[in-house]
Structure 1
Amino acid sequence: MEVGEVDFVDRIIVKGDFEIAFPCQTDIIRNTLETESSLNALIANTFDMDDEDSVDLIYSSEALTEGELDLIGAKADIVFYNPGNPNSLYYISVNFDQDYLSYATDLSIASVTLHENVHAYLLYALEENEDWLIEGSSDNINYEILLESYIDYRAYKIYGTPLKSFTAMNFSFAHHEVITEFVEEIASTLREYGENQGYTLGNEFYNAMAWGGLKETLAWTLDLTEQKRQQYENIFLSEHLGVYPAKGTNCGN
């Protein structure tokens, strides 16, 4: 670990200037990563310090424009230069918008951290040529495209049906099953985080926060009614902006 950086788990690192400027938000990210879940185990195993060829996952912050963001408040990218790890040709950067960090609640920051960690994993898998992903480079492939590709693959994999014989009807069902599983994993990890922080909130709240990172996916339109989409959007936007009726608290800076 280099001076001025904080190693959370294995090769998951936060830049020193990020922690100095946003110590409270750094603690939220740390607590999110330390929450026990299969999702966090996947992230920890992917960015493994014991592997000399391991890739770093590095958190930082800067002033971002709306067009640069993957989700509300952050973006993930591959950076093809890593002076801190000479065994790796690249690292995954998760960059939080500084304005977002100043007003978002802890529950929003935790949720965005989980989604961007998934994005980081998908970028890693694409760069390592995993066979389920779309053809092409990892450059400029956004979260929703990668996630849709992974969901499609999982739908085919679970049901073991060749692509040509997969009908629209049974593919739609399989797609629904996979996205439901994914949302439940994000929601359950966030719920565990919330309970560790003393929140007593219902499952519907955590489902809304989990869906908040999926607004640009096909599942957002197909799997949720218009009424449910509006309900969920109201919940995660209040947490994002740190305004009533938000349930979480912001760091006050």
Structure 2
Amino acid sequence: MKKITITKVFLFFSLILITTNCATEEIGSEDAKASAKAKDWFDNNKSNYSETVLKFVNEMQWENSIVSNGEIGEVIEVPFTLTDNLSTTNKEADVFNDHHRLMFVKDKNEEFKLFYVQIFSNDKNYDILDAHYNYYNIKDNFDGEIYVQELSTKTGNRLEFRNGSRRTSSLTAKMREQACLYYGYWNGDGSFTPLYEVACYGGGGGPSEDDPRAYGGGGGGGSSSGGNVPKTVSEIIVEHINGDKLDACTKAVLEKLKNLNQNDIKAMIDRFNSGGAAFNLNMSTGAVSRSINLAETTKVSGSSTDVNMVFSDNYIYGNDNINPPTDLSVATTMTHEIIHAYMISQLEEYKSGGCAGLCDFPTVYEAYIQYEITKNPRMLPETHHELIAENYVNAIASTIEEFHTGQPVSSGFPKQVYLDMAWGGLQDTYIFNKTYPDDPNHKNYKDRERIIARINAERLGSQYGVNTPIGTPCKK
């Protein structure tokens, strides 16, 4: 056997070490070049941005830039600190240990898109400078929340992670009001004093996988809780929604809703998708049980899979009015009733043994139990209205704003006129009168008058007070 001398072994390992170091230096050099390009671009373009965050950047830590590559290309993330020892949290002050990055992603023109990334970790020892944690990779043990905002469009998204996997919120949580973050100071007693609003973030369907706002695994990442994958409305409103017995105006509204991009109502309508659960939604125009109802949605007696939705013919044809309602009024009513239909289908699924049916709606379940005990026929509708008021007014408003304008609500905040319309299906309910009492001395009384005036202008298709309809009147 040939002997291997100590000198040869030393030379062998020295060669490996030198080769490895060269490779490491080459990688480091490429990252440094990428970071330098991002810095040059930022120095030349930051004056084009007026966002709150850039007014409070204390120190950009370019030397700690994290460069990663993947599906959307090269991503450069630069940690920074805030001025004056500011901190960030939400309205409830229940997110903490905040870290901040600016993220640079090249666009098709070899320019950069600029994003603000805020990371809140439940681990007080979390290391923001860990290069193993980046846009394409979430550490396996990461617990916390990440907020990503594109600074040019001001659109953002909130993501939650548990043990490195992205959590998908329940449908109810998705529809809640957007989360807003604030700069301010933590006090000695653990409370937080907000000074400046940073931004507000949606919790809806979320960005697509190739959207940089889908932080973590380049839009990948696991999911530790349930939830339907949103589809386009045109894929959802199909055979299992039967609109053959609708009048021309209401049918046209339904057809227009098929082409919307708004995410919020999709998962509900998906209950009646031909490729989904076997629930049938039968729409028609006709008589309703109570003259004040614009529409009624009820389960079909003896069936656990059929739901009827009837639009009042007096309402649709404008009987006893100068004009019929506008298409905006009808779209608002239809969207409201779809939520009722969804909740009914969830309850029926639960009653037939499908536990998942009411996981998103524990309040409906509680109402169902009370209904079984008391047999009070108003129990479930009142509970539906309470849930709609608390969780879905923004969802309805966003849907009808896109219906009317043709533009999705990317900011997460629909305009006031559409929010007012979204309360239309709740007028005269307990929750509406509780929120907007018929009391001139109440702080919300002027809001009540404004909401009712807008609802009536669209419902009557004519001038009501100082309000002119903004929708297109249906034809008699």
TM-score, length-scaled by structure 2: 0.39
8 Å CA contact 2:237–2:269 kept in 1: the answer is no
State the partner residue of 1:145.
383
State the partner residue of 1:40.
265
Write out per-residue CA displacement over residues 34-89 of structure 1, whole angstroms, 9 at most, x where no aligned residue. Answer: 322233311232113124x5111110111335x266x4x1110100356xxxxxx4
The 5 Å alignment of 1:40-79 reads 40-51=265-276, 54-64=278-288, 67=290, 71=293, 73-79=294-300
State the partner residue of 1:227.
446
State the partner residue of 1:31.
256
State the partner residue of 2:306.
91
Q: Does residue 206 of the first structure (1) align with residue 418 of the second (2)?
A: yes
8 Å CA contact 1:35–1:193 kept in 2: the answer is yes
- Count residues with an aligned counterpart: 201
Structure 1 residues without counterparts, runs of 5 or longer:
1-6, 83-88, 152-177
Distance in 2 between the 1:217 and 1:64 partners?
17
State the partner residue of 1:240.
459
State the partner residue of 1:157.
none
RCO higher in structure (CA 8 A, sep ≥6)? 1
1:31 positional shift: 1.1
8 Å CA contact 2:237–2:270 kept in 1: the answer is no
Could you say which structure has the higher helix fraction? 1
State the partner residue of 2:392.
182
The CA RMSD measured in Å over matched residues stands at 2.8
8 Å CA contact 1:144–1:214 kept in 2: the answer is no
Distance in 1 between the 2:428 and 2:263 partners?
25
State the partner residue of 2:238.
9
Distance in 1 between the 2:376 and 2:334 partners?
21
Distance in 2 between the 1:143 and 1:68 partners?
17
Distance in 2 between the 1:220 and 1:38 partners?
25
Distance in 1 between the 2:335 and 2:417 partners?
16
Distance in 1 between the 2:256 and 2:311 partners?
16
Q: Does residue 128 of the first structure (1) align with residue 340 of the second (2)?
A: no
Bigger shift: 183-192 or 122-131? Answer: 122-131
Q: Does residue 112 of the first structure (1) align with residue 333 of the second (2)?
A: yes
In 2 relative to 1, CA 121–17 (structure 1 residues): closer, same or farther, beyond 3 Å? Answer: closer
In 2 relative to 1, CA 42–10 (structure 1 residues): closer, same or farther, beyond 3 Å? Answer: farther
**Share of identical aligned residues, percent?**
24
In 2 relative to 1, CA 140–48 (structure 1 residues): closer, same or farther, beyond 3 Å? Answer: farther
Distance in 1 between the 2:419 and 2:392 partners?
11
- Please tell me the residue identity of whatever aligns with 1:206: Y
Could you say which structure has the higher strand fraction? 2
